[in-house]
Amino acid sequence: MDATRYETLRRAWNEATTPQRRKSSEVRIGPVTIGGERPVAVQSMTDRNTNDTEACIEQIGRIRAAGGHIVRLTTQGLREAASMHTIAAEVRKRWIDTALVADVHFVPQVADAVADTVDKVRINPGNYNDRGGSFAALVDKCRKNSTALRIGVNHGSLSPAMVDRYGDTPEGMVESAMEFLRACRDMNFDQVVISMKSSNTRVMVHAYRMLTAAMYAEGMEYPLHLGVTEAGNGIEGRIKSAVGIGALLADGVGDTIRVSLTEAPENEIPVAKALVNYFSHRSRATYVRTAYTEVCDPFSYTRRQTIPEGRLGGNNIPLLYSELNSDEMAALTECRIALLTANGNDPVSEWRRAITDMQRSGDTRPVILHRRYDTCNTEALALEAAADFGVMFIDGLADGIYVEATGVQQSDADTIALDILQAARARMSKTEFISCPGCGRTLYALHDTLAMIKERLSHLRGLKIGVMGCIVNGPGEMADADYGYVGAAPGHISLYRGREAVRRNIPQEKALDALVELIKADGRWVEP
C-alpha cells in the first residue's frame, strides 16, 4: 500500500475507534434489525442440502430455539432458489421472528431468483464480477422487496484481478468490498452489510480494521458481520473464533457475528451469545485504543521491540508463565520482566495503557500478561481469555501469557493459553485444523471425518490441515493450509498440497491413508 493511503487509513482507524461503539447504520433483515444502537445479533447457517426442505426447516427451528434469529442457507442454483421459496413460506408460518438469508456465491440469476423471497442475499464479490448490469439489477430488486444485501468477502476467494493487483491480502479484500460499496452508495442503496472473513485470525482482524478505516474515510457507516471461517470444532474452534471476533468487539467494531464451528449449527449460538454478552458488560468508559503509531501497526503484524530476558522477549516465541525457568523467575522478581495484571472489566484497555506508558518512557522490558478469572467453567474461561488475550498477541504486544481461574486447574488454564497463542498465530504447539462448518454443499459426513482425521494427525505440531466439505469453495477458503482434504464428489475426496491438487477423486475410505502417505512422502511425518 502506498504511504499516503496507509496514513489516511491509519488516521481513519484512530478516529473511528472511540469509547463509543463504532457508529453504523441500521439494516433491516426481515424481522431482525442490526446496526445503529441495536445489540450485536448472532446468527448461524444450516448444513443440510437446501433441497431437503424438511431437514432445513427442522434445523432452522433448532437454531432459533437456541436463540439465533438470522439463519443462512446455501443457495447455489435455481433448484435451491425454488426450495428457498418453500422454506421461507414455512418459516414465516411458524416463526415470524426469524430472518432467512440466501448464500449465493457465483450466479447472478440465482441472487435475482431469491431476492424477493428471503430477507437478505449474500454475494461474494470475488465471484460476482459484474458490478454494472447484474449487480445493479440485483440492488434494484432488493430495494423493491426490502431485502438486505451482504457483500461477503472471503480471504482465498478474491477475484483474479484483485489478487493480481494486491495479492491475497487484507488490502485486496478491502478493495474488493469497497468497489461494491461505492456502487451501492452511487445507487443510493444503504441496506448493506459487509464481512471480511478468513481462517487466519491475523488476516481477518487486519482486514476488518482496514475496511472500517476505509469506510470511515469515505463517510460510510455500513454495519459489519464478523466471523472467522473454518475455525474447526471443540474448544479450539471456540477459542479461534473468540480471538478473531473478540479482537474487533474490543474496539467496538461489529454488528452481527457468526461463530463457525464444524458441529451442529445450533451449537454455534450459545458460543456467539456468550461472546456478545461478555462485551456488552464491558464499560466502554475506560476504553483505550492501542497507540498504533507508537507500539504497533493496526493493519499488519509487528512485534513490539524488547530486550530479551532469558527466553522471553526479542524474537522468542511467547511463553506460558508456568514454563519460566529459575533465572526467568528471578528476572520477574527483580522486575526485569514486567508482569501486567489486569483486574478491571476491560483488560485489553488496561494492558494497552500500561504497554503504551512503557513505550513512552523507553521501557523495553519483555511483558507477561496476566488475568485471574472468577470461574470454574472451562468453556467460559476459554472464551473470555481468548477474547481478552488474543488481540494483544495479534498486535504483537506481549511476550508471555498467564491465564488463571479460581475454579479451573492450572494445567487446563495453560492448555487454553497455548490454544490462544496458536489461534493468534503467535506460537504453534499442535496441528492446526482448518475445517469448514459444512453447508448445503457438503459432500461427506464432515463431523465424523474431522474426528478421524484429528485422531490420526493431531500430533503433527505446526502443520496446517484443511478439511473442507466441497471443492467449490474448499480449496480457496482453506487459505494457507499445508495439506487439504476436500470433498470432490459424493464419496470421493481430493487431496491438496498447499493450493495444488495432488490426488483427485480418491474413494473416501482410502483418503485418510493417502493423506498420511502424502505427508510421509514429503518428509513431514513424525510417529505419534
Rule CB under 6 A: which residues touch ligand SF4?
Answer: 436-439, 441-442, 468-470, 472-474, 477
Minimum distance from residue 141 beta carbon to ligand SF4 (Å): 24
Closer to ligand SF4 by Cβ: residue 201 or 473: 473
Which residues, including other chains, have CB under 8 Å from residue 279's CB and lie 6 or more apart? 40, 246, 249, 250, 387
Distance (Å, rounded) from C-alpha 22 to C-alpha 74? Answer: 30
3-class DSSP string for 508-521:
HHHHHHHHHHHHHH
Residue labelled with grid coordinates 430472518:
99
Report in angstroms how near the CB of residue 508 gets to ligand SF4 at its nearest: 15
**CB 471, CB 494: distance < 8 Å:** yes
**DSSP state for residue 262 in the 8-state scheme:** S
Q: Any alpha helices (H) in 27-132, and if so which ranges?
A: 53-66, 78-94, 108-114
User: Which of 30/156 has CB closer to ligand SF4?
Assistant: 156
Kindly tell me which of 369 and 436 has the beta carbon lying closer to ligand SF4: 436
Q: What is the grid cell recorded at 353? A: 495503557
- Shortest CB 231 distance to ligand SF4, Å: 11
- Dmax (CA) for the chain in angstroms is 70
- What is the closest distance, in whole angstroms, from the C-beta atom of residue 81 to ligand SF4 in the complex? 16
Pairing mode of beta strands 464-468, 483-489? parallel
Torsion, Cα 175 180 183 188, to 10 degrees, reads -120
Half-sphere exposure of 176 (CA within 13 A, CB side): 36
- Residues listed for the chain: 528
How far apart are CB 262 and ligand SF4 at their closest, in Å?
9
CB of 476 to ligand SF4, least distance (A): 9
CA distances from 309 to 297, 332, 368, 448 (A): 24, 9, 12, 45
Whichever of 313 and 438 has its CB closer to ligand SF4, that residue is: 438
Closer CB to ligand SF4, 152 or 469, in the complex: 469
Q: How far is the CB of 381 from ligand SF4 (least distance, A)?
A: 29
For ligand SF4, the closer of residues 451 and 521 by Cβ is 451
Question: How far apart are CB 104 and ligand SF4 at their closest, in Å?
Answer: 12
Q: Please say which residue, 214 or 439, places its beta carbon nearer to ligand SF4.
A: 439
Q: Closer to ligand SF4 at the Cβ: 396 or 475?
A: 475
Using the minimum distance from each CB to ligand SF4, give the nearer residue, 253 or 467. 467
CB of 527 to ligand SF4, least distance (A): 31
Vertex 306, ends 300 and 307: CA angle to 5°? 150
Buried b / exposed e along 99-111 (16+ C-beta atoms within 10 A): bbbbbbbbbbebb
**Distance (Å, whole) CA 500 – CA 506:** 15
Residue with the CB atom nearest ligand SF4 in the bound state:
469
